[in-house]
Amino acid sequence: MLTKRYWWVIITYIIMQFSGVIFAPIVYKVLPITEFQAVISWSIFSFIAGLIVVLLLMKPDMQQGSDPQAADGNTTIVWSITGVFMAFIAQMVAGAIEAILGVPQGSENTEAIMEVSRAAPLFIIIPSLIAPILEEIIFRKIIFGALYNWTNFFIAATISALIFGFIHGEPEHILVYASMGYVFAFLYVKTKRIIVPIIVHMAMNSLLVIAQFSIDPEDLERMEQMQMIFIGG
């Protein structure tokens, strides 16, 4: 069962995700900027504000200290590094299965984020840093954690991944979202530290951000399997 604080975290995340529909046009009318700049400015503001609110709501959890069985510092580092390779492998396998099933490769959500990031580099703080923190807190610690207490690993990881996929408007790529969800959930259960899946999620998103600025856009578009790792934002 979710606590009241956890429900407020989820509500904050939903408001943050969809607030731009109302407030971006207001920013555009009030400030002497383009419509694109208004959307980007509000997105950055809302994600930062959302992160602050979520961290404040999660403060009691942080003050409780770590689980007595939680991984120590060195183990945390090892699993964070290992987790990146695990996530890449899981994504590749899921992508291959989708290809066999005839699911169109590539992610419209990813491509849109990449286009925006090229046009407004400051925007990359959202998929690289802020989104992974928020998403792991909500989808792994809160949703997966609550379900895991009542069901089993597979059911909890699958449901949390389904919700994640639908929130991002890409249910056709649910295999990829689920594969990543299983890896992130496994890392959370194994280490009992939410920071581990956060680090892995950040690393994967940041690698694609680096790639998009160092590889020709046309070449990057052909690397559809690679694009599918960019699941944040």
- Does residue 135 carry a catalytic annotation? yes
Active-site hit among 168, 170, 173, 201: 168
Whether 232 has a pLDDT exceeding 50, the answer reads: no
Listed residues 46, 65, 84: the one ending a domain:
65
**Domain end: 12, 42, 65, which one?**
65
The 10s digit of each residue's pLDDT in 167-202 is: 777 777 888 888 888 999 999 999 999 999 999 999
Could you tell me the two tokens for 141?
Answer: 């610690």
Residue of 102, 111, 83 whose CA lies nearest to 228: 111
Q: Convert the pLDDT of each residue in 195-227 to its tens digit.
A: 999 999 999 888 877 776 676 655 555 554 444
How distant, in Å, are the alpha carbons of 45, 52, 128, 149, 152 from that of 145?
A: 29, 22, 24, 6, 10
Catalytic residue among 35, 108, 111, 135: 135
Domain residues for the domain of 13 are 1-65
3-class state of residue 20 by DSSP: helix
- SS3 label, residue 147: helix
In this structure, of 23-32, 47-56, 91-100, 210-219, the range with the lowest mean pLDDT score is: 210-219
Q: How far apart are CA 136 and CA 232, in angstroms?
A: 10
Residue-wise pLDDT for 135-146, tens only, equals 999 999 999 999
pLDDT band at 80; cut points 50, 70, 90: very high
The pLDDT, as a whole number, for residue 229 is 42
Whether the predicted pLDDT of 123 surpasses 80: yes
Q: Distance between CA 169 and CA 106 in Å, rounded?
A: 14
- Residue 233 pLDDT more than 50? no
Overall residue count recorded for the chain in this entry: 233
Half-sphere exposure of 186 (CA within 13 A, CB side): 16
Final residue in a domain of this structure, among 20, 48, 65? 65
Euclidean distance between the first and final Cα of the chain, in Å?
27
Q: What is the pTM of this model?
A: 0.86
Is 168 among the residues known to form the active site? Answer: yes
The verdict on 111 and 205 lying in the same domain is: yes
Confidence of residue 228 (pLDDT cuts 50, 70, 90): very low
Q: State what percent of residues in the chain have pLDDT above 70.
A: 87
Residues 36 and 95 in one domain: no
Number of domains present in the structure of the chain: 2
